[in-house]
């Protein structure tokens, strides 16, 4: 599913391809992307690391993009791995684990899906492929830290999350202490801790969603500046986000996780949490496409999202959006808009 060939001929950009660039211009571009990527590793800008690397690959080729990452990693490491005053040994190890996770679970997967972006594969396919690669990156981080530093980033993260959940349940004056509401809150906290890996992957999902949307916008803007025309299609507009149909199989299979036991149950529950979140994101994309289809202006969009946010407190809007995302492959809610609507006047 994930192609990692280092061929260097991009096909997405309408202009500025490596074939038409001098060596000096390419070197200057790679240097600029290296500096940019190094700075983007710093929080909270790391969400755009994939965007920088993918766009570098589209402009300069895949080899140049990999070279950019190789050069950016040591620079970013010098910026991020300076131990703060009073930092403990655990803090230092966690810092190294965090940085390694960014490299192998965010930056490397971005370059692994670069060939898919060049081919203009669908938003959903690119995202799922990047997510699968990220799972491998997180596992590699955990294994490497345990082997070489005798430290488990996941165990520490889980312990910190458990402490936070306990503090919220016991120290929050608004939290009920008895009755069904208290039982529900405790059950919800237990489920959140059980599905902690899934929540980590949800963060990575948002990183790639934001980066792919930014790449799509930059490509469209660049083509408009150079040719005064918009792309014939815009697969990385958020409203065009559509998951592969086979993901429904993963939803059904992981939905049987309560019937399993041990590690199988935990894996199934985490897969289910991530898949449900992906369908929620797809539901938001459907909602965005409907707003674009009816030509909602700024005030209308603001009102619509405000209403959605208010309903989120009741749990109604997340439920409806997730159901819409799940059944989109059957009912094709965007059938009148999906093929040729690429109005760039609406911001995603």
> Are residues 126 and 187 located together in one domain of the fold?
no
Say whether the peptide bond before residue 331 is cis (omega within 30 degrees of 0). no
> Do 270 and 308 share a structural domain?
yes
Q: What is the mean pLDDT of the chain?
A: 84
Q: CA torsion angle for 153, 158, 164, 170 (degrees, to 10)?
A: -150
DSSP annotation of 175 reads S
Q: Mean per-residue pLDDT for 276-294?
A: 92
Together in a domain, 147 and 209: yes
Same domain, 218 and 75: yes
Q: Same domain, yes or no, for 8 and 138?
A: yes
Rounded Cα gap, residues 215 and 320, in angstroms: 29
Secondary structure class of 265 (helix, strand, coil)? helix
How much is the pTM?
A: 0.84
**Taking 90 as the threshold, does the pLDDT of residue 330 lie above it?**
no
**Structural domain span for residue 83:** 1-151+197-236
- Confidence bin at 136 (pLDDT 50/70/90): very high
CATH code at position 144: 1.10.1760
**Cβ–Cβ < 8 Å for 56, 64:** yes
Domain annotation covers residue 15: yes
**160-204: per-residue pLDDT in tens?**
888 887 777 677 666 666 666 666 667 777 777 888 899 999 999
What mean pLDDT do residues 5-15 have?
41
Q: What is the DSSP string of 124-144?
A: HHHHHHHHHHHHHHHHHHHHH
* Exposed/middle/buried for residue 7 (C-beta within 10 Å: 0-12, 13-18, 19+): exposed
- Tell me which of 141, 171, 194 is where a domain ends: 194
Residue 246: inside a domain: no
How do residues 242-251 score in pLDDT, each as one tens digit? 999 999 999 9
How many independent structural domains does the chain possess? 3
Please tell me whether residues 123 and 9 are part of one structural domain: yes
Least confident stretch, 218-227, 242-251, 306-315: 218-227
Q: Judge if 185 and 207 occupy the same domain.
A: no
Task: Flag whether 250 is in a domain.
Answer: no
Query: What's residue 296's pLDDT?
Result: 82
What does the H/E/C string look like for 144-160? HHHHHHCCCHHHHHHHH
For the CA atoms of the chain, what is the radius of gyration? 22
């Amino acid at each position: 599913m994930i192609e990692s060939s280092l061929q260097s001929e991009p096909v997405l950009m309408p202009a500025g391809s490596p074939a038409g660039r001098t060596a000096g211009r390419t070197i200057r571009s790679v240097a600029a992307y290296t500096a940019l990527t190094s700075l983007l590793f710093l929080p909270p800008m790391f969400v755009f690391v994939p965007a920088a690397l993918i766009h570098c690959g589209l402009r300069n080729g895949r080899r140049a993009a990999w070279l950019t990452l190789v050069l950016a990693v040591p620079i970013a490491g010098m910026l991020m791995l300076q131990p703060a005053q009073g930092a403990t040994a655990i803090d230092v190890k966690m810092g190294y684990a965090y940085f390694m996770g960014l490299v192998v679970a965010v930056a490397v997967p971005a370059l692994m899906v670069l060939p898919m972006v060049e081919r203009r594969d669908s938003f959903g396919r690119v995202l799922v492929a990047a997510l699968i690669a990220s799972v491998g990156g997180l596992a590699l981080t955990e294994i490497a830290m345990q082997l070489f530093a005798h430290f488990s980033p996941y165990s520490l993260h889980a312990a910190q999350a458990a402490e936070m959940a306990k503090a919220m349940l016991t120290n929050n004056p608004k939290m009920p202490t008895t009755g069904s509401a208290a039982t529900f809150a405790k059950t919800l906290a237990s489920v959140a801790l059980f599905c902690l890996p899934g929540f980590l992957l949800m963060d990575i999902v948002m990183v790639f969603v934001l980066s792919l949307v930014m790449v799509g916008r930059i490509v469209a803007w660049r083509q408009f500046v150079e040719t005064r025309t918009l792309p014939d299609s815009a697969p990385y507009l958020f409203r065009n986000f559509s998951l592969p149909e086979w993901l429904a199989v993963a939803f059904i299979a992981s939905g049987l996780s309560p019937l399993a036991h041990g590690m199988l149950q935990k894996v199934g529950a985490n897969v289910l949490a991530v898949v449900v979140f992906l369908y929620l994101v797809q539901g938001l994309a459907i909602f965005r496409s409907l707003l674009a289809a009816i030509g909602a202006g700024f005030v209308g969009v603001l009102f619509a999202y405000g209403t959605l946010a208010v309903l989120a407190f009741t749990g109604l809007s997340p439920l409806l959006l997730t159901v819409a995302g799940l059944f989109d492959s059957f009912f094709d809610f965007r059938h009148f808009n999906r093929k040729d609507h690429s109005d760039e006047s609406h911001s995603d």
